[in-house]
Structure 1
């Protein structure tokens, strides 16, 4: 996963929304029975000693999902509200006291990884690797250690079966936008594991950045204000 999880969300990201076109559709709740929130923290350590860390917060509600992208370099945070009922994605931001945003269509053409966010019922990737036998509690969830690899990484994963989400689902929300790559999802699927990793340590086989992922700050409820669009001037893209 060269450049896995490099959250390069800038104001240029907002402009990609303007070329969306609407295809009405309906979808089931992406998270299944999971309702709650947590932070996704990704750290990258490069061979030259450079490091970076990025955070995205996920909020899975009953009817909507929100993703809060914590931006860098004095850029505004970006909040995405995904509503499967009316097949819209709303991008919200505040800059210099002005609240703006966009109401955009939700379809596979402009959200290429959408099928990973809404997998068919019962679809599970069966593990092709033998767990190490080690286990521990992370964030209150029982996790098992799995050692595996992809074409680019050797991986140590701490997997739980107690949360009805998957890493491909989470990664799909990080790739919303016309022409966004699905490379991260495809490479993760090479690990051939089932469950959700709460901790991941990925060691590059090709001299690129090593990656550490943590899912933390789990809460079993969601403040409905995270889905609010109040006060934002929204441009609707038909």
Structure 2
């Protein structure tokens, strides 16, 4: 449960930024990330309590679909949720969509995940890619994000599948088999620990000067348009 929550947190955070990017919204303020991550955690807790096979996370596929269709309206998600509930109740309609061949679904996923990946790479334009520190952090995190999950999926998970304690092996496996989680965690640790020449250069190299004006929710009047909750829920769950 804990490992799944961490994995869901990393993947959901990346999806939030990708959706904001393709929806032509302002960069997501930290308070909105915290609010969204909190609700993802509540949903994951409910999934574990009710014995759900799959966990809850922000849909990477929907972020890619947003880039493909260029439709960033909440009404589309609300109508889609209504159709999903209807199809789950009426089995014939659900069987119709379940009969879609898997190669077609795989082709769509290639497009969706490609868009989301390109959104993440697009944020590198704000960094100084000529700086060797930045190059090391990016290259090392990408490499470990690919190699560590591959090791755990091909070797560790097979060899230690029945080793006690089973719960500890499951936590390590879930956490380390997520490419996004491993790469993000390695990059986060390296960015905090590697020394910089001076603060001004660090701000220019990492692009922090571009993000500073979006750190507060009330710093930009457009944030209320993009991130305000419907039905006056902002009064119960305010964003600071």
Taking structure 1 as the reference length, what is the TM-score of the superposition? 0.25
Q: Larger radius of gyration, structure 1 or 2?
A: 2
Taking structure 2 as the reference length, what is the TM-score of the superposition? 0.25
Larger helix fraction of residues: 2
Larger strand fraction of residues: 1
